[in-house]
């Protein structure tokens, strides 16, 4: 404060020729979301004839929309200051850790940003677990699982537009450790066989960010991809590959309180080698109209899809889209209504992402089509300390995948080979859901979150179990301090059931004639206790620890494939 008073007195004593001297005062606010724009320079060149330096006398955090940095106390160059000049993020980020049972994690990002030119980012991501897991038959097969990704992205600014590109390769490796083969049976499938998938992608985009619709915003994008299957499977020498070509265009414009937008997209998926018969083309067009009124905020429109899979007739779908929010004059009561949906292919690449233990070279000729609706109320009360959202939902899911355990064999009812693979059967499913979500923030550094979701299914079109829970919920608490942050949460999921289809061969009543039989796999009620802890050793280095399944429950994501028991990971995060 004394320095500010001294600077003011010095300015009063200077002659008129320096009356344009910049006033040396900094106003600091704690809630700030800066926009990255070119700085507007003063009409005259400021004369900094003294040695007064301006430093904020408060420690706080700036949180721009997509990144978080800490404000460093350094001199400000007046009249030429932009956000990036005031606090340029460090170019490198590293997260590295390992834990027990043996697991590892690595994230590395290298970036550079110039507000007048563009940006460039390179990244490497890795997750791995290596310890053997005892399956439901008491056998420890190879259960190594790894995700590895490497890529680079760059953007070049052209006035208000940007040209962006992205190049990446991802590898996902699993092992069929849940499989069982009787000791007196010969099988072409080996327990612990590898399921390994590679995915290369390149994408280019040119256009706007659709934030300022006072002018026309547009974008044009194209993506190409090549998917590889490197899995181990009997008589699978001609391993499947799949190419992807996607194009996308969008245009939008605002007119006061009104907005109009249109989109068009084309996707071509083509199989090669073992899935050479697969060929699918999907055309998508969408229209949106929005209005922002005092009481009503509405966005409405429709999506049209033309879906053509080789060897079957083309299908056409129209899916309504609605986002309706009512402003009743209070933040504590905000009714809303939503409708949307999607059309998703069931090609081999998509199925491997739904379930990595899918049978090799398997695909479906129909896409999954979802129609969804939600209505409820939400709001913020007690001066923003308590947020809630309560709503009901209804979905109609055409061609929904019902995953079942396939490639199972039995002799006279005795299981001889189990969990060789999984496949989806397609049927209609309807779902009614009831949902509640609450966040409580008694102070800015502490919050608790509660979520409860219940589901009622109608699966009349198939006798297969759906593998989905009728209930899931979570309760967590988080503390974010200057030096220490920690959290704990418990995640619940009701019992789930999957069908297992066996090819049973009789040796007495009908020798050599297999009969298909159905069995059920049930995953027990899941309780997953997790904790996390961060210690900021310095402004650039943080030590972290994460624990999962700390009460050592038997957890399943896929039937016959248990997850790790109690496990933890410790390591370091660093900006440099």
Instruction: Report whether 61 contacts 68 (CB < 8 A).
Output: yes
Check pLDDT > 90 for residue 346.
yes
Helices and strands (DSSP H and E) totals, the chain: 3, 32
CA-to-CA dists, residue 437 to 394, 434, 452, 473, 477, angstroms: 17, 11, 7, 9, 14
Residue-wise pLDDT tens digits, 557-569: 999 999 999 999 9
Segment 390-417, tens digit of pLDDT? 999 999 999 999 999 998 888 888 889 9
Average pLDDT, integer, range 54-77 = 34
103 contacts 129 by C-beta, under 8 angstroms: yes
In this prediction, residue 88 has a pLDDT band, given cuts at 50, 70 and 90, of low
Q: Which of 35-44, 111-120, 378-387 has the highest mean pLDDT?
A: 378-387
Average model confidence (pLDDT) across the chain: 87
Tokens 């979570």 locate to: 474
Identify the band that residue 109 occupies on the pLDDT scale cut at 50, 70 and 90.
Answer: very high
How many angstroms separate the CA atoms of 222 and 203, rounded?
Answer: 6
How many residues are present in the chain?
576
Whether the predicted pLDDT of 425 surpasses 80: yes
Give 454-483 pLDDT, tens digit per residue. Answer: 999 999 989 999 999 999 999 999 999 999
pLDDT at 368 over 60: yes
pLDDT for residue 358 is more than 60 = yes
Lowest-pLDDT choice from 91-95, 103-107, 218-222, 514-518: 514-518
Quick: pLDDT tens for 131-165.
999 999 999 999 999 999 999 999 999 999 999 99
Does residue 51 have a pLDDT over 50? Answer: no
pLDDT at 87 exceeding the cut of 70: no
Q: Would you say residue 62 has pLDDT above 50?
A: no
Q: Please tell me whether residue 244 adopts helix, strand or coil conformation.
A: strand
Q: Which residues contact 8 (CB under 8 A, 6 or more apart)?
A: none
Q: What is the mean pLDDT of residues 73-93?
A: 53
User: What percent of the chain is modeled with pLDDT above 70?
Assistant: 84
Return the pLDDT at 511: 57
Rg, C-alpha atoms of the chain: 29
pLDDT at residue 381 greater than cutoff 80: yes
Residue 338 in this model has a pLDDT that exceeds 80 = yes
**pLDDT (0 to 100) of residue 510:** 56
The answer to whether residues 225 and 199 touch, using CB atoms and an 8 Å cutoff, is: yes
Better-scored residue on pLDDT, 1 or 384: 384
In this structure, what is the dihedral angle of CA atoms 367, 368, 369, 370, given to the nearest 10 degrees?
-160
Question: Residue 190 gets which letter from DSSP?
Answer: P
**Phi then psi dihedrals of residue 551, to 5 deg:** -100, 10
Contact 387, 380 (CB under 8 A): yes
Considering only residues 448 and 85, tell me which one the structure prediction assigns the higher pLDDT. 448
CB 220 within 8 A of CB 248: yes
Percent over 90 (pLDDT), the chain: 76
**Closest Cα partner for 198 from 152, 147, 273, 246?**
147
Between residues 79 and 539, which one has the greater pLDDT?
A: 539
Q: What is the pLDDT of residue 427?
A: 97
Residue 520 has pLDDT above 70, yes or no: yes
The answer to which of 80-94, 350-364, 449-463 has the lowest mean pLDDT is 80-94
pLDDT at 303 over 50: yes
DSSP states of 474-543 as a string?
EEEEEEE-SSEEEEEEEEEE--EEEEEEEEEEBSSSSBT-EEEEEEEEEEPPEEEEEEEEEEESSSSEEE
Q: Is 457 exposed, middle or buried (0-12, 13-18, 19+ CB in 10 A)?
A: middle
**pTM summary value:** 0.83
- In the numeric block, which tokens belong to residue 289? 């109209």
């Amino acid at each position: 404060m004394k320095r500010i008073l001294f600077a003011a007195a010095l300015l009063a004593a200077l002659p008129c020729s320096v009356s344009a001297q910049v006033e040396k005062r900094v106003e600091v606010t704690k809630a700030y979301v800066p926009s990255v724009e070119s700085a507007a320079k003063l009409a005259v060149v400021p004369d900094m004839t003294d040695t007064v330096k301006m430093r904020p006398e408060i420690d706080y955090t700036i949180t721009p929309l997509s990144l978080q940095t800490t404000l460093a106390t350094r001199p400000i160059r007046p009249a030429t200051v932009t956000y990036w000049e005031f606090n340029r993020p460090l170019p490198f980020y590293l997260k590295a850790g390992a834990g027990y049972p043996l697991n590892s994690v690595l994230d590395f990002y290298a970036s550079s940003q110039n507000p007048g030119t563009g940006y460039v980012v390179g990244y490497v991501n890795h997750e791995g677990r290596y310890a053997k897991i005892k399956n439901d038959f008491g056998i420890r097969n190879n259960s190594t699982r790894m995700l590895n990704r490497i890529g680079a992205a760059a953007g070049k600014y052209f006035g208000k537009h940007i040209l962006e590109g992205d190049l990446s390769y991802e590898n996902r490796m699993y092992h069929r450790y849940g499989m069982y083969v009787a000791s007196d049976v010969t099988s072409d499938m080996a327990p612990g066989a590898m399921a390994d998938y590679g995915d290369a992608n390149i994408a280019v985009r040119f256009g706007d960010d659709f934030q300022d619709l006072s002018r026309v915003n547009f974008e044009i994008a194209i993506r190409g991809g090549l998917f590889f299957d490197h899995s181990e499977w009997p008589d699978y020498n001609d391993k499947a590959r799949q190419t992807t070509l996607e194009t996308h265009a969008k245009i939008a414009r605002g007119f006061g309180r009104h907005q109009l937008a249109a989109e068009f997209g084309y996707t071509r998926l083509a199989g090669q080698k073992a899935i050479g018969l697969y060929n699918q083309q999907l055309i998508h067009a969408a229209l949106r109209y929005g209005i922002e009124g005092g009481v009503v905020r509405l966005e409405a429109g429709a999506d049209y899809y033309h879906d053509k899979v080789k060897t079957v007739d083309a299908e056409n779908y129209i899916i309504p889209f609605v986002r309706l929010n009512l402003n009743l004059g209070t933040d504590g009561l905000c009714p809303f209504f939503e409708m949307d949906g999607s059309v998703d292919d069931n090609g081999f690449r998509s199925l491997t992402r739904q379930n990595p233990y899918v049978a090799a070279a398997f695909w479906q000729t129909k896409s999954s089509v979802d129609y969804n609706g939600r209505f409820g109320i939400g709001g913020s009360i007690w001066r923003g300390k308590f947020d809630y959202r309560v709503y009901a939902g209804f979905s109609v899911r055409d061609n929904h995948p019902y995953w079942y355990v396939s490639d199972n064999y039995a002799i006279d009812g005795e299981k001889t080979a189990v969990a060789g693979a999984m496949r989806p059967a397609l049927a209609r499913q309807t779902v009614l859901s009831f949902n509640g979500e609450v966040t409580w923030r008694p102070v800015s550094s502490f919050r608790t979150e509660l979520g409860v979701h219940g589901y009622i299914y109608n699966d009349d079109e198939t006798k297969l179990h759906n593998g989905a829970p009728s209930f899931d919920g979570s309760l967590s608490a988080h503390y974010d301090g200057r030096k220490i942050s920690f959290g704990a949460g418990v995640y619940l999921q009701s019992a789930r059931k999957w069908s297992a289809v066996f090819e049973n061969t009789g040796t007495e009543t009908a020798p050599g004639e297999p009969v298909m039989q159905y069995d059920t796999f049930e995953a027990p009620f899941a309780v997953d206790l997790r904790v996390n802890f961060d210690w900021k050793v310095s402004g650039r280095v943080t030590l972290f620890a994460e624990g999962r399944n700390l009460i050592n429950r038997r957890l399943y994501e896929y039937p016959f494939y248990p997850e790790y028991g109690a496990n933890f990971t410790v390591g370091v995060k660093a900006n440099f």
